[in-house]
Structure 1
Amino acid sequence: MQFFLIIALLIALLAVFFAVQNTTMVTVYFFVWQFSSSLALVLLLSLAIGVILSLLLSLPRIQSKNWQIIKLKKRINEQEKEKDTIKEQIAEQLGTINSLQRQVNEYKEKLLVPPKIIVNNESIKATTEDEQTDFSK
């Protein structure tokens, strides 16, 4: 964009130099009209008309680009909303996963703890071939 601005300023500067050096009167004929003025004024008027015409001719392209930009911004907003929704769903799923993992760990701990065996000392007796031993004493 800066390149085009520099080029436009150079053209304007050249037009001013041309206008200052060429002050003679000229007559411009356009169909049935006739216009007499200094060459500088005719040049500046022609330059201004050229700028206006080029802007008018580029308006459809500019407008279509603006519509495209609006559509793309709308699409970006929709995708950002979708991204936020997906992030929320991921956070919920991670919470569920963490909760289930805690439950699994609790169940593992319960399964790994050896069961407590309550033994009544009076009921344990061992017998051998020779004798019967009472372990309760």
Structure 2
Amino acid sequence: MRFKTIMAILFAAVIIVFSLQNAEVTDVDFLFWKVSMSRVLIILGSFGIGVLVGILVSLKRKIT
């Protein structure tokens, strides 16, 4: 396996373990919205958005 793949899998595992240990409900305030949700969803959602942005940026570099 390539080094980047191993590091990505290791990093994803650390994020999952970290988020599962922080399962309390917390308030999220964003502009006019106030939502109570689990920290697991916040952490994993933020991680997912970051991965998506990274993929989109790398696709743009491959196209041009």
* TM class by smaller structure: 0.7 to 0.9
For residues 47-58 of structure 1, what are the structure 2 equivalents within 5 Å? 47-58=47-58
Alpha-carbon RMSD: 1.6
The answer to whether structure 1 residue 27 and structure 2 residue 27 are counterparts is yes
Residue 8 of structure 1 aligns to a residue in which SS?
helix
* TM, length-normalised to structure 2: 0.82
**Structure 1 residues 13, 32: closer, same or farther in 2, change over 3 A?**
same
Identity %: 38
Q: Quick one: which amino acid aligns to residue 35 of structure 1?
A: V
Residues 102-135 of structure 1: per-residue CA shift (max 9 Å, x gap):
xxxxxxxxxxxxxxxxxxxxxxxxxxxxxxxxxx
Q: Displacement, 1:8?
A: 1.1
Partner of 1:105: none
Residue 26 of structure 1 aligns to a residue in which SS?
strand
Q: Quick one: which amino acid aligns to residue 58 of structure 1?
A: S
Partner of 1:43: 43
* Equivalences, count: 64
For residues 1-16 of structure 1, what are the structure 2 equivalents within 5 Å? 2-16=2-16
* TM, length-normalised to structure 1: 0.43
Gaps of 5+ in 2: none
Structure 1: 4+ residue segments shifted above 3 A: none
Q: Displacement, 1:33?
A: 2.1
Partner of 2:60: 60
Question: Larger relative CO (CA 8 A, sep 6+): 1 or 2?
Answer: 2
